[in-house]
Amino acid sequence: MAFKKNLASSKDDNISDWYTEVISKGNLIHYSNIKGFMSFLPNGWKIWQLIKKELTKEFDQRDILELCLPSLISQNDFLLEKKHLEGFAPELFIVTKTSNETEKYILRPTSEIAFCNLWRETLRNYRQLPIKHNQWTSVFRVEKNTRPFLRNSEFFWHEIHSCFETEEQSNDFAVDIWKLYQRFIKDILCIPLVAGEKTEAEKFAGAKTTYTVETIMPDGQALQSATSHNLSQNFSKAFDIRYQTKNNDYQNVFSMSAGVSTRIIGAIIMTHGDDDGLVFPTKVAPYHISLNCIFDDTNQELNAKLKELANKYSQKYRVHLNVNKDSTGEIIKNSQLRGDCCVLLMGPNDLKKNEIVFIDRITKQKQFINLDHLDQKLEELFSTFDQKLYQKAKAVFETKVDFAQTFEEFEQKIASGKFVRVFYCNEDLYEKQIKEKTGASSRCIIKYLDEQTQERCFISNKKAKVEIYFARSY
């Protein structure tokens, strides 16, 4: 027997329509009247705050200091940077004062310039190193095709910018943060991933190496979910960031930068959501438990009991005590759309029987639980919830990841929505051809092959240099 789903659209049939509907009905955001700009509603903002909390724990352990730089960059500084950032040229928002239209500023699209200016003016000697800075801000890029979370003209991110005495330290820290991102995305967000290095063509302009974490959406498209860059001395030389060494000479620092943005919320939604609404891993779920009175909202004894339960479970879980007079069906529907991990319902009869109705967000099955066993039931749910989400996502992931030996095979697999592993000669020229012919871009190098390899490149038939993933991407 098939039940009617909460959403009109189907994730399997049309993920684009589904994505729009699940976000709108889940009350995460509200579109503003400016293209690409949106309000984060309380539940949407809560997810970002929980992500911030989880990552901040990790940053604190690494003595990364939080600060906040200005939103505007002078246009002159930006033109200076641009020379060193060929390739990174998003369309920008220009700012002027009403009183003075000749002085122009840029709404920051990223903050390399601001950090470089700060360091150049404050760094004196080796005793100040390493510097590990981080800020949580929004950045601005004009976008033609916008989608909530996935591509916004204003989006939120954190950006780590650090500098060091040696290249090794800088690279090690970039790798450390990259590994942290992998654990975060896999263990906290329960999203399967592929991690590796970007090719020359795809790396951040100005970086020596870009380490990336790629996730795969259910339609097979890749989502670049977190990146960490070893910038070597590229920026410190361009911006003249020097310090006095122990030996009293002057040297340019080695720097790195890294970031995760609100795009990752798009990945959470697309990975875990279903045709009944949003689903969230426990660490970033706005609400763990929706607790509701049904049938008789004037029953004082019942309300007292629910308040008691809300107080009790708030010690451990994020509990939402619902005082609306919705019907039971509406309550369950709204809770599922919102992505609460479970919904609990209690009416006068349940109270008499010392029972509560329990519906978890994964199985969606209704169970009557004796209140004496509720602690245990919740323990069970929350101790296995994330693992179940990951396994479900991993099963989908496995159907998307594929391998191609030849270009013909590659073309066909990309066209059918796969994330395709190949052996590749790693020459820029072919990347352009591949993109033009298939729409796929290189996502990440997972292995450098040694000279002795027998593998041939899937497109050039030259000796392969790397093992790499290609896919279409968001």
Stretch that binds a copy of itself, among 120-128, 403-411, 431-439, 452-460 (CB under 8 A): 120-128
| Distance of closest approach, residue 242 Cβ to a copy of itself, in angstroms | 18
| Distance of closest approach, residue 367 Cβ to a copy of itself, in angstroms | 29
Give me the residues paired with residue 31 across strands: 38
Choosing from 79, 94, 304, 415, the residue that interacts with a copy of itself (CB under 8 A) is: 94
Nearer of residues 97 and 437 to a copy of itself, judged by Cβ: 97
Stretch that binds a copy of itself, among 110-118, 205-213, 219-227, 363-371 (CB under 8 A): 110-118
Three-state secondary-structure class, residue 48: helix
Among the listed residues 15, 2, 23, 4, the one whose alpha carbon sits nearest the alpha carbon of residue 277: 23
Question: How is residue 21 written in tokens?
Answer: 């509907």
CB proximity list for 454: less than 8 A, separation 6 or greater: none
| Distance of closest approach, residue 376 Cβ to a copy of itself, in angstroms | 29
Q: By the 8 A CB rule, do 264 and 270 touch?
A: no
User: Using CB under 8 A as the criterion, what x/- string covers residues 339-378 for binding a copy of itself?
Assistant: ----------------------------------------
Rule CB under 8 A: say whether 88 interacts with a copy of itself.
no
User: What does the alpha-carbon distance between residue 185 and residue 193 come to, in Å, rounded to a whole number?
Assistant: 8
Nearer of residues 71 and 412 to a copy of itself, judged by Cβ: 71
Q: By the 8 A CB rule, do 344 and 357 touch?
A: yes
Give me the residues paired with residue 344 across strands: 291, 358
User: Using CB under 8 A as the criterion, what x/- string covers residues 307-346 for binding a copy of itself?
Assistant: -----------------xx---------------------
Q: By the 8 A CB rule, do 275 and 6 touch?
A: yes
| Distance of closest approach, residue 93 Cβ to a copy of itself, in angstroms | 5
Nearer of residues 87 and 439 to a copy of itself, judged by Cβ: 87
Rule CB under 8 A: say whether 401 interacts with a copy of itself.
no
User: What does the alpha-carbon distance between residue 17 and residue 5 come to, in Å, rounded to a whole number?
Assistant: 15
User: At residue 413, what are phi and psi to the nearest 5 degrees?
Assistant: -75, -40
Give me the residues paired with residue 73 across strands: 106
User: What does the alpha-carbon distance between residue 404 and residue 281 come to, in Å, rounded to a whole number?
Assistant: 33
Q: By the 8 A CB rule, do 208 and 234 touch?
A: yes
User: Using CB under 8 A as the criterion, what x/- string covers residues 40-79 for binding a copy of itself?
Assistant: xxx-xxx-xx---------------xxxxxxxx-x--x--
| Distance of closest approach, residue 34 Cβ to a copy of itself, in angstroms | 6
Nearer of residues 99 and 145 to a copy of itself, judged by Cβ: 99
| Distance of closest approach, residue 438 Cβ to a copy of itself, in angstroms | 29
Give me the residues paired with residue 138 across strands: 156
Rule CB under 8 A: say whether 125 interacts with a copy of itself.
no
Nearer of residues 67 and 395 to a copy of itself, judged by Cβ: 67
Q: Which residue has the tokens 């609460």?
A: 340
Q: Which residue has the tokens 């000749």?
A: 102
What is the pairing mode between strands 441-448 and 401-403? unpaired
| Distance of closest approach, residue 443 Cβ to a copy of itself, in angstroms | 29
Nearer of residues 332 and 381 to a copy of itself, judged by Cβ: 332
Stretch that binds a copy of itself, among 99-107, 198-206, 229-237, 451-459 (CB under 8 A): 99-107
Nearer of residues 39 and 367 to a copy of itself, judged by Cβ: 39
Nearer of residues 296 and 411 to a copy of itself, judged by Cβ: 296
Nearer of residues 171 and 262 to a copy of itself, judged by Cβ: 262
Rule CB under 8 A: say whether 96 interacts with a copy of itself.
yes
User: What does the alpha-carbon distance between residue 90 and residue 120 come to, in Å, rounded to a whole number?
Assistant: 25
User: Using CB under 8 A as the criterion, what x/- string covers residues 5-44 for binding a copy of itself?
Assistant: -------------------------x-xxx--xxxxxx-x
Per residue, what are the HEC states of 230-268? EEECHHHHHCCCEEECCCCCEEECEEEEEEEECHHHHHH
User: What does the alpha-carbon distance between residue 290 and residue 305 come to, in Å, rounded to a whole number?
Assistant: 15
User: What does the alpha-carbon distance between residue 255 and residue 207 come to, in Å, rounded to a whole number?
Assistant: 9
Q: By the 8 A CB rule, do 189 and 225 touch?
A: no
DSSP code of 296? -
Nearer of residues 96 and 391 to a copy of itself, judged by Cβ: 96
| Distance of closest approach, residue 19 Cβ to a copy of itself, in angstroms | 20
Q: By the 8 A CB rule, do 440 and 421 touch?
A: no
Stretch that binds a copy of itself, among 97-105, 274-282, 338-346, 370-378 (CB under 8 A): 97-105
Choosing from 142, 371, 396, 446, the residue that interacts with a copy of itself (CB under 8 A) is: 142
Q: ∠ CA(206), CA(462), CA(197), 5° rounding?
A: 30
CB proximity list for 147: less than 8 A, separation 6 or greater: 19, 266, 474
| Distance of closest approach, residue 129 Cβ to a copy of itself, in angstroms | 12
- The footprint of a copy of itself on this chain (CB under 8 A) covers a number of residues equal to 50
Q: Which residues bind a copy of itself (CB under 8 A)?
A: 30, 32-34, 37-42, 44-46, 48-49, 65-72, 74, 77, 91-99, 105, 107, 114, 117-118, 121-122, 127, 133, 138, 140, 142, 154, 156, 324-325
